[in-house]
Structure 1
Amino acid sequence: MNLDDTEDGDLVHVDDEKSDEKEKAYSIVAQWNWKVQNYFIR
């Protein structure tokens, strides 16, 4: 395997390809509903 050094290497960017595409991020919020005794996801 052609891996970087664990101390000084880049362990985040492991692909050789450079991508101009931006990464998309999202989050899921869940709240507990006491009346129904279940989570409500928005």
Structure 2
Amino acid sequence: MQGHKQFTDNVLRFRLSERVPKQNLYHRLAELLDWDFLYQQTQSL
């Protein structure tokens, strides 16, 4: 499944993206690259 999901829970708020260090390679890549085109190209899959 694809998409940008927002999970909310009133009791527990856990976001993996907040737990990964900002210096992580994938965080740095996300700041430099726009991956939105992948969602458009893979939408039918």
Query: Which one has more relative contact order, counting CA pairs under 8 Å at least 6 apart?
Result: 2
Is TM-score (shorter-chain normalized) higher than 0.5? no
The structure in which a higher percent of residues are strand is 1
Please report the TM-score for the alignment, with normalisation by the length of structure 2: 0.19
Greater helix proportion? 2
